[in-house]
Amino acid sequence: MNEQAVIRTQGLTRYFGARPAVYELNLEVPRGGVFALLGRNGSGKTTTIRMLLGLLAPTRGGGTILGYDIRALPPEARARIGYLTEEHQLYGWMSVRETGDFQSRFYPAWNEKIFRGIIGHFGLRPTALVKSLSRGERAGLCLALTLAPEPELLILDDPAIGLDPVARRSLIESMVFLTRRSDRTIFFSSHQLPDVERVADYIAVLDHSVLRACCPLETFRNSIRQVRLRFPGTPPPLPKIPGLLQAVRSEGELRVTCVHYTGATEAALRGLGPTEMEPALITLEDAFISYLGDRGEKSFILSETEA
């Protein structure tokens, strides 16, 4: 067993009714570094995280987290894993300080300075009741509770959801701060691509319950290329290109987005006889959207689209 993998899954599958929410997931998360799990809503990110933490039983398959079987996580495993849930759920009737006191009694390694630091950073009053906190303030409190025990592995399920930009920035700052220790790993799911771009070392992409990508961030970005071809008139129909994500045809222009742009791809495109062929620069967000968006060809040519 590779000691460097903090999370490892084998054929992890979960069905809800007749539909698989996560299908045959084989994932390995290396120790140290920041790992982002991306995917559209409903692609299985939260389900995966819940299974990893032993809160939901897999239909089949399994995995290990910090070397422990996910189906039977002992308390000592839970002491080393921090988990921030999507909904930032807490007990509304407790105050901020009481929540901190409550949580601290469970963890021998509780670091009160970190807790107070994050609380202060988010500007939370210790006597404020949790139910009176805003979404962002609750997120800050949850973050403080999760980071204070100084966990080895931090799992965050969509931590930035509902946060204002200032709170989101505080969140990423905390994540960057955490990377000071190289034995700490962060595993988080997110829709905030700018944040992912800032902090992630590796990403994995879930598409309709299936893993479609798992690589360093730059590899992903570099794998996706957009090429702009100019034609004198209507662009010709596109041949079959492996790795094609999207093609947009408009008057005089054909824009092709594809994965793994090889010499063969280039040759195929050149074979269409364009007057110009330019690889265009693409942002991470556009790359991601093309990757997970609708596949295929779109036409914006009047003569072809008018009924």
Positions 220 through 249 that interact with other proteins (CB under 8 A)? 220-223, 242-245
Q: Does 283 bind other proteins (CB under 8 A)?
A: yes
| Count of residues touching other proteins (by CB under 8 A) | 88
Which span sits near other proteins by CB under 8 A: 120-128, 131-139, 169-177, 267-275? 169-177
Question: What are the residues whose beta carbons fall under 8 Å from the beta carbon of 225, sequence distance 6 or more?
Answer: 257, 258, 259, 261, 279, 282
Q: How far is the CB of 130 from other proteins (least distance, A)?
A: 11
Question: What are the residues whose beta carbons fall under 8 Å from the beta carbon of 265, sequence distance 6 or more?
Answer: 241, 242, 243, 258
Q: Does 198 bind other proteins (CB under 8 A)?
A: yes
209: left (phi over 0), alpha (psi -120 to 50) or beta: left
Q: Does 53 bind other proteins (CB under 8 A)?
A: yes
How far apart CA 122 and CA 244 sit, in angstroms, is 45
Contact map string, positions 103 to 142, toward other proteins, x by CB under 8 A: x-xxx-----------------------------------
Q: Does 79 bind other proteins (CB under 8 A)?
A: yes
Residue 106: both structure tokens together: 């469970």
Are 257 and 246 within 8 A, CB to CB?
yes
Give 120 or 302: the residue with its C-beta nearer to other proteins: 120
Q: Does 12 bind other proteins (CB under 8 A)?
A: no
Q: Does 102 bind other proteins (CB under 8 A)?
A: yes
Give 166 or 302: the residue with its C-beta nearer to other proteins: 166
Longest dimension (CA), the chain: 73
Give 84 or 254: the residue with its C-beta nearer to other proteins: 84
Q: How far is the CB of 231 from other proteins (least distance, A)?
A: 22
Which span sits near other proteins by CB under 8 A: 132-140, 166-174, 263-271, 296-304? 166-174
Q: Does 13 bind other proteins (CB under 8 A)?
A: yes
Residues in region 20-39 near other proteins by CB under 8 A: 20, 23-24, 28-30, 33-34
How far apart CA 280 and CA 218 sit, in angstroms, is 17
Give 73 or 124: the residue with its C-beta nearer to other proteins: 73
Q: How far is the CB of 279 from other proteins (least distance, A)?
A: 7
Q: Does 18 bind other proteins (CB under 8 A)?
A: yes
Q: Does 65 bind other proteins (CB under 8 A)?
A: no
C-alpha distance from residue 83 to each of 38, 51, 255 (Å): 17, 12, 42
Q: How far is the CB of 42 from other proteins (least distance, A)?
A: 15
